[in-house]
Amino acid sequence: MNEAIKKNSSFSAGSPNDENAAKVEKSPPAKTPAAAVPPVRDGAGKPLVLGFSLGLFLALLTLWFAPMLREWMFAVLPESQFALQLRTTDIKRLQKDALRLEKRVSSLRKKYEQLTPRVPYLIVNTSENRIRVMKGNDVIHEGVCSTGSYVLLRSAEQQRQWMFFTPRGMFQIRGKREYPVWKKPDWAFVEEGLPIPSPNAPERFEYGVLGEYALELGDGYLIHGTLYTRMLGMPVTHGCVRLGDEDLRIVYKNLQFGSKVFIY
């Protein structure tokens, strides 16, 4: 019996002796201790399990590389369509169409180019903290600036929070001020660990910290000067655009009420 079991085991491991194995399976169960050995697996079990396991792995690989395989298929497969020249037999019509299309493209191009402002405008790059004063496609002046720090300030009780970022998009100059006075908002006190005063308390007003000029962009955002010139070129502000004295003078001189400011 033991020998028979051995034979059967060797079948499942790849023995060609199928007939013997079949005989063993048909024989009645033995009462010897060897019968306690679990029944020997069917001959199909092992290849099935191994095949499925490997197949599953291959299927996952196929799924993973499917976009690449599709791309290869597109490269290999012949193009099913007709070449461009076969669209029409009427050459005159084709030439007319081409001329009309050329005019249309040229007018669209002009329309698009006219969107660039002819009067001076400002471009602020918050990623590299740089500015460019432009007129049409010409650069009038380039300089450094400081923009929003992306600090999220949470008050001690965590009931209030402020996000210090410079908004992106197109803005317009809504006001110009000389020797501006800064009316400190609540976060300025929270940031310094001071109690928040009433809205018009005298300690809210600070002179000289915004430089010689300020240009309003709306929603409390300003383009202004700074006392901390060594910080220029870094993202350190509470959302305003800070400039050095010389840059601020040029920006103030060139940008008028309504001038466009593009921030990205």
Partner 1 sequence: MAVVARVARPFRFLRQNRQAQIIFFLALFIFPGIIFLFTVVLPVAHNPFEASAEDEVAENIEALPDSTPPDIITGRQELAKKMAALEIDQAFFQARVQLSKSDSISLAVDLLDSVLSLEVKGLAMRRCKILRFRSSGLAKRLRSQGRLHQWLAAPFVLQKELATLPKSPIRIKEAPKDTIEANESKGEDLPIEHRDAEFTLQFDRNLTLVVEQAQAPSFSGRLRQLWYDWRRSFDTALDAVVALLHKELPQHRMWIEIEISREDAKAVYRALPQQAKLALRL
Nearest approach, Cβ of residue 189 and partner 1 (Å): 10
CB closer to partner 1 out of 30 and 151: 151
CB 213 within 8 A of CB 248: yes
CA-to-CA dists, residue 207 to 73, 83, 148, angstroms:
70, 73, 22
Question: Whose Cβ is closer to partner 1: residue 31's or residue 118's?
Answer: 118
Neighbours of 98 (CB within 10 A): 10
∠ CA 205-209-211, nearest 5°, is 125
Distance of CA 185 to the CA centre of its chain: 32
Q: Is the dihedral of CA 95, 98, 102, 104 positive or negative?
A: positive
Nearer residue to partner 1 within complex by CB, 211 or 235? 235
Nearer to partner 1, 164 or 213 (CB): 164
Q: How far is the CB of 27 from partner 1 (least distance, A)?
A: 21
CB of 225 to partner 1, least distance (A): 20
Q: In terms of CB distance, is 35 or 58 closer to partner 1?
A: 58
Q: How far is the CB of 31 from partner 1 (least distance, A)?
A: 30
Shortest approach of partner 1 to residue 180 CB, angstroms?
A: 24
Q: What does DSSP say about strands 121-125 and 260-263: parallel, antiparallel, or unpaired?
A: parallel
| Torsion over CA: 133, 242, 248, 184 (sign) | positive
